[in-house]
Amino acid sequence: MTSGRRALYVPRPWRGGLALGTFVEGLFVIRARRGARPPMAGRTVVVTGASAGVGRAVARVFGEQGASVALLARGRRGLDAAAAEVEEAGGRALVVPVDMAEPSRVEEAAARVEEVLGPIDVWVNSAFTSVFARFPDVTADEYARVTAVTYLGCVNGTRAALRRMRPRDSGVVVQVGSALGEVSVPLQAAYCGAKHAINGFTAAVRMELRHERSGVAVTVVQLPAVNTPQFSWALSRLPRRPRPVAPVYQPEVAARAVLHAARHPRRAEYRVGASTAGTVLAHRVAPALLDRYLARTGYDAQQTGEPARPGAPHNLWEPLDGPRGRDHGAHGSFGQEAAGRSPYTVAARHRLLLSAAGGAAVVAFRALRVRAART
Enumerate the active-site residues: 191
DSSP 103-160: HHHHHHHHHHHHHHH-S--EEEE-----EES-GGGS-HHHHHHHHHHHTHHHHHHHHH
Q: How many CB atoms lie within 10 A of CB 328?
A: 24
Phi–psi pair at 225, nearest 5 degrees: -70, 135
Among 251, 55, 113, 261, CA closest to 173:
261
Rounded CA-CA distance 208/218 in Å is 11
Contact at 8 Å (CB) between 334 and 227?
yes
| Angle subtended at Cα 264 by Cα 30 and Cα 202, rounded to the nearest 5 degrees | 155
Q: Are strands 131-132 and 216-223 parallel, antiparallel or unpaired?
A: unpaired
Q: Are strands 303-307 and 240-242 parallel, antiparallel or unpaired?
A: antiparallel
Contact at 8 Å (CB) between 233 and 314?
yes
| Adjacent-strand bridge partners of 123 | 46, 173
Rounded CA-CA distance 105/99 in Å is 7
Preceding amide of 247 cis, omega within 30: yes
Contact at 8 Å (CB) between 30 and 227?
no
Contact at 8 Å (CB) between 163 and 157?
no
Contact at 8 Å (CB) between 51 and 74?
yes
